[in-house]
Amino acid sequence: MRRWFPIVTAALAALVAAAPAAAADPSGAARTGATAGKAAKAKPVNCAKVKCIALTFDDGPGRYTGKLLETLRENKTTVTFFLMGEHVDKYRGTARAIARAGHEIGNHTYAHPHLTSLYDGLIRDELVRAQDSIERATGKRPTLMRPPYGDTDDRVSGIAAELGLAQILWNRTSRDWELRDSKAITKRVLKDAARNRIVLMHDIWPETVAAMPGILRSLKKKGFHVVTVGTLLRGRELAPGEMYPLTGWR
């Protein structure tokens, strides 16, 4: 997989540098058709100047993701999705719609194992299989990954580096998988909202998706711009294997 190295490193740099522009014009994605894939047409956001927060959605795509895409489109907002390969294979059209709408897509492994408990070869398989599924569905290989459960170590980091994947963790979690209540999820996200934070959420839960219109409305009222991780990083280039953020996600 070494041959991917310079290519993905360059791609990551380009992604990070171009994130605001890409959000404004998701490379003609809107022209390719389907209503569900219509671009969010978010305005370019400079997180050095305005208050940004990145909402990130793990474990999809799933049966509620389409509804979330609608809400995001209505709010002209782009976010980051960390997709499971297994779910991409099952909901390939939805994965394609996420990409067409200009959202950022990262790798969340194929089947969501605790990576640190696996042999090297299996860690690599989990990541590569998800890369393959995502590329088949969207035409693009991610340059970001998020280890399930935030479970990573030097071995996982080394393999992520080999595959050209930077590791994106989070600063705060919505704990939506425990709360399973839209009001409680909303309350928690708003309470924890702070400039430049990355928030962990899951679009596989209907309560999370149902909470999103209210969350976006309230964040806007508080002066936040909801952005992708790439936009939040403002051109900062993460090295393959590098973790961001380094603290706060345990």
Q: Which residues bind Zn ion (CB under 5 A)?
A: 58-59, 148
Contact status, residue 161 vs residue 127, Cβ threshold 8 Å: no
State how far Cα 119 lies from the chain centre: 26
Which residues are catalytic, by number? Answer: 58, 202
How far, in Å, CA of 246 to CA of 250, rounded?
Answer: 10
Q: Nearest approach, Cβ of 144 to Zn ion (angstroms)?
A: 14
48 to 45, 55, 156, 219, 239: CA distances (angstroms): 9, 18, 32, 18, 21
Tell the residue number behind the tokens 């474990």, with chain if given: 59
Q: Nearest approach, Cβ of 61 to Zn ion (angstroms)?
A: 13
Q: Nearest approach, Cβ of 202 to Zn ion (angstroms)?
A: 7
Instruction: Tokens for 91, please give them.
Output: 């909901």
> For residues 30 and 118, which CB has a smaller minimum distance to Zn ion in the complex?
118
> For residues 4 and 177, which CB has a smaller minimum distance to Zn ion in the complex?
177
How far, in Å, CA of 114 to CA of 128, rounded?
Answer: 16
Q: Nearest approach, Cβ of 38 to Zn ion (angstroms)?
A: 27
Q: Nearest approach, Cβ of 113 to Zn ion (angstroms)?
A: 10
Instruction: Tokens for 107, please give them.
Output: 């790798």
> For residues 58 and 126, which CB has a smaller minimum distance to Zn ion in the complex?
58
> For residues 58 and 176, which CB has a smaller minimum distance to Zn ion in the complex?
58
Count the neighbouring beta carbons within 10 Å of the beta carbon of residue 139: 10
Phi, psi for 111 (deg, rounded to 5): -125, 15
Helix pair 65-74, 206-221: axis angle to 10 deg: 20
> For residues 84 and 212, which CB has a smaller minimum distance to Zn ion in the complex?
84
